[in-house]
Amino acid sequence: MTLTPSSRSLWVFGGIGALLGLGYFDSKAFPPGIEPLLTPLCAYQPMSTDDAGRHENAGQDVIAVDADDTKQELVNRLDAHTDDGIRHRAFTCLVFDDDGRILLAQRSPDKRLWDTHWDGTVASHPVDGQSQVDATIQRLEEELGITPDQYGEVELTDRFEYKRYYENAGVEWEVCAVLQVTLTDMTLDPDEEEIAGLLWADYDHLHDHPEWYRQLRLCPWFEIAMRRDFATQ
């Protein structure tokens, strides 16, 4: 499904979370007649312990690192996110438009950690031997259909370590690089297995007025990245 912005200043699609508690986005709420462009995923079951062992992550590796993001070894991705976790290399990419809006992406209900939370915009792990920039370019195309001709430079703007537990499902313990791109072509072709919804939000307003956005349930790594981004401005 390819999405292009209409003549209105706001366009949005998504699941149930995209229809509730959106607060302020530009000067408009939902325009009359706007409809979700993806089928809402309303009912799902949390992953059980048995399911976790069969999860696709069980067959993948991530790069374990020290506090300086120096490679230590390859570790199983599921092991890195289970119990107390293993510190590993990760990245998040913030996608903007020329009007100072950030593209928020709702994580699929099938995600093991932070399912249905809103990210800004994609996050993942580079494979062994892959740079953060190359990994970002790859994930932008795989998750959102955004190709390199739709933006200029991929800027590496920050790096931080964090550790957060998610309910009883697992943990993120990452040294997370932050990258940013600004789109010149707003066409999107999201992967519905990865993305449950998308919306554009005014970046300054999102940071300055979090009370307007509580029902979005932002991913912790994005909240940290955004807070640090504004602290350096």
Residue 11: inside a domain:
no
Range of the domain at 51: 17-26+36-231
pTM, to two decimals: 0.80
* pLDDT computed for residue 3 by the predictor: 60
Residue 172: inside a domain:
yes
Write out the E strands in the chain: 12-13, 61-65, 71-76, 88-96, 101-107, 118-119, 122-124, 155-166, 170-182, 195-202
| Per-residue pLDDT at 200 exceeds 70 | yes
Just list the catalytic residues.
174
CA dist., res. 76 & res. 63, Å (int): 9
The amino acid at 138: Q
What average pLDDT does range 41-52 have in this prediction? 39
Domain harbouring 185, CATH code: 3.90.79.10
> Into how many domains does the chain fold?
1
Residue 9: inside a domain:
no
Residue 1: inside a domain:
no
